[in-house]
Structure 1
Amino acid sequence: MKKLLLATILIANSLMLTGCLPAIQGASTISTIITTTNDRRSAGEVLDDRTIMFRMLAWPNQDVSLKDAHLNFMVYNKSVLITGEVPSHAVRDYTIQQAKIQEPKIKQVFNEITVGPNSGLLSRSKDAAITAQVETLFHDQEVFHPTLVRVMTESQTVYLMGAVTQREADKAVKSAKKAKWATKIVKRFDYLKTRPAAEIERDHQRELAAQKKAELKKQQAALDAKKAKLKQELRALGGNNAEGTPF
């Protein structure tokens, strides 16, 4: 755990040294736009989410009403989570209303925006470090594939999105709570009754392949041992050409 915290602190420090604010703002949402073979969404759904994400990221820079706002976005299955700070309740209401019409494919918008001054560089660096910790912790468990749950952190609150079973959701929350500095976990999951059948079959095939590989390795080890024993027996019989045997 100490190594994990050290790594995340180094990440945060490197972000601060760069002085690159957009990089920090995007650090908490980068996993949202990464496509993996383990995704439970279809290729079309992934493409839709990426399209929505890019549109949302570009929107604040194009809307003068949001020039004093600090907004972050996370998208999953056409649902948009918005966090950050705005200067007034009027701007917050405006943001939510306008967010819904930025892209026709958006199904719903989760409002996690607060009214108040924008977070500073140190706060955003800490949020990025928390996200890095959580994503690392997701790799240190075997209940769900780490890419199935999207992570974003705002003001030390960790937001989780994805299509998961109740067991997977519980494990994700339990893992996220271990992250240092995280004060709250918010779930925005799409719940599944069971794991997808295709995914279960894929894992079954992987397990069979691993078993077959292990068996072949065991057989090869046994064969090598027999060869070594045969060579020893040849040497014991005084065979001068034992080293030259063709095996």
Structure 2
Amino acid sequence: MYKTLIKLSSIILLAAFIQACLPMAAVSAGSAVNDRRTAGTMIDDQNIEFKVYNLISKDPELSEQAHISVTSYNKIVLLTGQTPTAEMRSRMESLASSVENVRRVQNELTIEDPNTLTTRSQDTWLTSKVKTSLLKIDMPGFDITRVKVVSENKTVFLMGLLTKEESEAVIDVVKKVTGIERIVKIFEYV
């Protein structure tokens, strides 16, 4: 009886877990289908991010004194966050550039103390507002999953493979979002 109860409980928990994962899997699959990057490039981007974060973790000074976010899109690495010195900022750029398959590094690290958790939370909220605003774009063939949004200290970075018209529509919508002090386009055009 006890073993049957454990099996039944396990099946119910597994079913609930799988059901909870399905919507996320559908969104992820939809993103991959609409992405203009090849599957190989998407994997390269994930590997690039992993390798750069690994290099940061091996540098005690960077990992303990700086706040660094790494985003790779179409093999372009965006570095955002804060480092206490110009030397650390340059070192971080060199580390990112040394990773295999990196085409370019966009170093947007600022030289200052790391942001507070409150500021980081505000940036997360700002990213959500920007992504939601992209839903307003009514353009044939446009898909919001083609735009990567990163926010850092009220600056919004936009990455993606877009047409010129899509890029203009994105900027027109994003510049109306409250709380943004600066917008940086890192688009590549198709």
Report percent identity of matched pairs. 34
Contiguous gaps of at least 5 residues in structure 1: 1-33, 193-247
Q: Partner letter of residue 184 of structure 1?
A: R
C-alpha change, 1:123 and 1:48, in structure 2 (3 Å) is: same
Structure 2 CA distance for partners of 1:136 and 1:98, relative to 1, 3 Å? same
- Structure 1 segments of 4+ aligned residues over 4 angstroms from their partners: none
User: Does the alignment pair 1:184 with 2:182?
Assistant: yes
**Contact persistence 1:35–1:46 (CA under 8 A):** no
Is 1:108 matched with 2:99?
no
TM normalised by structure 2 equals 0.79
CA offset digits 1:193-226 (Å, max 9, x no partner): xxxxxxxxxxxxxxxxxxxxxxxxxxxxxxxxxx
Q: Within 5 A, what are the aligned runs for 1:1-247?
A: 35-66=31-62, 67-101=64-98, 103-143=99-139, 144-192=142-190
Secondary structure in structure 1 of the residue aligned to 2:136: coil
Instruction: Kindly indicate whether the alpha-carbon contact (under 8 Å) linking 1:40 and 1:148 is maintained by their aligned counterparts in 2.
Output: yes
Measure, in 2, the Cα distance between the counterparts of 1:54 and 1:177.
Answer: 31
Do the aligned partners of 2:159 and 2:186 also contact (CA within 8 Å) in 1?
yes
Q: Deviations over 1:47-83 (max 9, x none)?
A: 1111112222333222113020100121111110101
Count of residues in correspondence between the two structures: 159
User: Rg larger in 1 or in 2?
Assistant: 1
Q: Deviations 1:85-114 (Å, cap 9, x if unpaired)?
A: 00111111111111111x211111001011
Task: Return the alpha-carbon distance in structure 1 between the equivalents of residues 53 and 129 of structure 2.
Answer: 24
Q: C-alpha separation between the residues in 2 aligned to 1:56 and 1:136?
A: 29
**Which TM-score applies when normalising by structure 1?**
0.61
